[in-house]
Amino acid sequence: MEKTINEFEAQRDFGKILQGVISNDDKVIVEKHGEPVAVVVPVELYRQWQRDRAAFFDTMREAVEKADMSEEEANELIEEVITEVRSRQRVVEKMREMAGRADMSPEEADELAAEAVQWARSHKD
């Protein structure tokens, strides 16, 4: 299960949080002043992210070698890809936040969708 808590809850209930991560594969987003700052996830998921990241950069290196690109051009391309991925992640986080407001009318949902589109456009890196 994925849940979001504030930093006070994280400090107060850290033992319980760890137990949920260990026992139930919980994923816990910790916010400070309403902004996500950390995530507590099962170590195997973290290791998978590390493997995926390493594989991604290996693939990028291979592509650069095949494309006859300079290291500087390759680094620029990598930065563009990273920026795009982070931008998409922020959109997903914003949509999840909005989905938490389940008690809304269709008109409110339409307004929220318009807000999400505006938010995504204004936060595109």
Reported as a pLDDT band with limits 50, 70 and 90, residue 108 is low
Q: Which helix (H) or strand (E) holds 97?
A: helix 71-99
DSSP assignment letter at 101: -
pLDDT at 56: 86
Which region among 22-26, 63-67, 68-72, 116-120 has the lowest average model confidence (pLDDT)?
116-120
Query: Do the Cβ atoms of 64 and 82 come closer than 8 Å?
Result: no
pLDDT at 77: 81
Reported as a pLDDT band with limits 50, 70 and 90, residue 92 is low
Task: Beginning with the edge strand found earlier in the chain, give each strand of the sheet holding 27-32 in spatial order.
Answer: 2-6, 27-32, 35-40
- At the fourth CATH level, the homologous superfamily of domain 1-41 is YefM-like domain (3.40.1620.10)
- The SS3 of residue 33 is coil
